[in-house]
Structure 1
Amino acid sequence: MTRILVLYYSSYGHVGKMAEAIAEGVREGGGEAVIRHVPETAPEEVAKNAGFQPMAHDQIEGPDHLAQYDGIVVGSPTRYGRMSSQMAAFWDQTGGLWQKGALIGKVGAAFTSTASQHGGQETTLWSILNNLLHMGMTVVGLDYGFDGQMGVEEVKGGAPYGATTIAGGDGSRQPSEVELAGARYLGKRVAQTAAKLTA
């Protein structure tokens, strides 16, 4: 059984909910899912004043633990069209893994949340995927086998580069069933791909 890490950062819970759906998909695809979050780096007063919510899962012990997994699905909210500083700070500590080639051949994928439909979902996904590609990982996107991302009959996330959700300007919109289904689909594809590569 492949072990897939769902690694995320979430300020208000949207990315955390998507992480749980990704993990459901990983299990559906025959893998073992482990959910961890990266450390909060915002000053406590800033986090409190902004209304940040505590993340529901355990914190990852450190970058070296990434090497224990067959696949890593990385999720971050969008900050000005890129991943959050918390997630970037974590990946900035992975130079040792890069030097050893510790993640080469492992499977990677990305997911995100934005306030608006055009708030930088695809650029945020690419800011995550760039790190995974530099690590030599095999990237899995949200392919169009998941046709829930098609159509314009409702507001919904989803991109060929990864699973996404739209939170609304005040954060009141929670991930829809279509968006959660996309996250589950992505998790399943990551688990299935990792199983093929480790066979």
Structure 2
Amino acid sequence: MRINIIFYSLYGHNYKMAEAVAEGAREVEGAEVGIYQVEESFTPEIIEKMGATESKKRFEHIPVATVEDLSESDAVIFGTPTRFGMMASQMRAFLDRTGGIWSKGGLIGKVGSVFTSSATQHGGQESTILSFHTTLLHHGMIIVGVPYTQKGLATLEEITGGSPYGASTVAGNGPNTRHPSENELKIARYQGRHVAQITKKLVGK
């Protein structure tokens, strides 16, 4: 049972969330988990001006995703920051290269799930995940979110990301800002574990 996590991250917030998702998925017996990042479109000069050079180095060891990483998986968990209430352009560019897989129905019946981050508490986390689902549905994927058995979704003790649509974190704007909280990481681990459990039932492994 192969579960691939494919993310885009600029300052490292979504990378940390991806690692937590992977940790949860690995708890399920039989799960082989891969982590990939989508190709960066910003030049090194732009990344430097955005103050993200050092952040990028923390996960430069993560391989770049290919469309084969989609077709060879049983489930794919995508992670993207929010850009004006939608996915980042780098993730959109990656998905726009999946027409060949779509024409062959290569992702039909596979599990799809999404996590995200935003600069502010109400910065479009839910709309980003929900609009991302549109692409997954066009591919015929089975969408899995985070049910309310994950109690951290309902906490009123702190500002936190996380919704029934998927894990998320309030990241702040720019480098050296807020890191994912333990509650947000718990939700991300739960999402990874839940996706793996559902996938295991579907593939019968």
**How does the TM-score come out when normalised to structure 1?**
0.96
- Residue of structure 2 equivalent to 1:191: 196
Aligned to 2:167: 163
2-structure distance, mates of 1:129, 1:73: 11
CA distance in 2 between counterparts of 1:107 and 1:7 reads 13
The gaps in structure 2 that reach 5 residues or longer are none
Q: Over residues 69-92 of structure 1, what are the superposed CA-to-partner deviations in whole Å (9 max), with x where a residue is unaligned?
A: 000000000111100000000000
In 2, are the aligned partners of 1:29 and 1:187 still within 8 Å (CA)? no
Q: Which residue of 1 aligns with 2:32?
A: 32
Residue aligning to 1:87: 91
The alpha-carbon distance between structure 1 residues 45 and 170, as it changes in their structure 2 partners (threshold 3 A), is closer
Distance in 1, matches of 2:190 and 2:68, equals: 28
Contact 2:81 2:118 in 1 (8 A): yes
Instruction: Using the TM superposition, name which of 2-11 and 62-71 deviates more.
Output: 62-71
Runs of 4+ with >6 A deviation: none
Amino acid at match of 1:81: G
Aligned equivalent of 2:110, options 94, 106, 111: 106
Deviation at 1:170, TM superposition (A): 4.2
User: Match of 1:66?
Assistant: 70
Paired residues of 2:24 and 2:192 also in contact (CA < 8 A): yes
Q: 1:151 corresponds to which residue?
A: 155
- Give the secondary structure class of the aligned counterpart of 1:72: strand
Q: Secondary structure at the match of 1:96?
A: helix
Query: What is aligned with 2:186?
Result: 181
How far is 1:32 from its partner? Answer: 1.3
Q: Hey, what's the Cα distance between the residues in 1 that align with 2:79 and 2:137?
A: 15
Q: What is the percentage of aligned positions where both structures have the same residue?
A: 49
Q: How many residues are aligned here?
A: 197
| Whole-angstrom distance in 2 between the partners of 1:164 and 1:144 | 15
Contact 1:64 1:94 in 2 (8 A): no
Structure 1 residues 108-127: aligned runs within 5 Å: 108-127=112-131
Asked if structure 1 preserves the Cα contact closer than 8 Å seen for 2:51 and 2:174, the reply is: no
Q: Secondary structure at the match of 1:195?
A: helix
**Within 1, Cα distance between the matches of 2:74 and 2:93?**
22
For the aligned residues, what is the CA RMSD? 1.1
Q: Tell me by how many angstroms 1:20 deviates.
A: 0.3
Greater shift after overlay, 49-58 or 25-34? 49-58
TM-score, normalization by structure 2: 0.93
**How far apart are the structure 2 equivalents of 1:115 and 1:74?**
18
- Aligned residue identity for 1:10: S
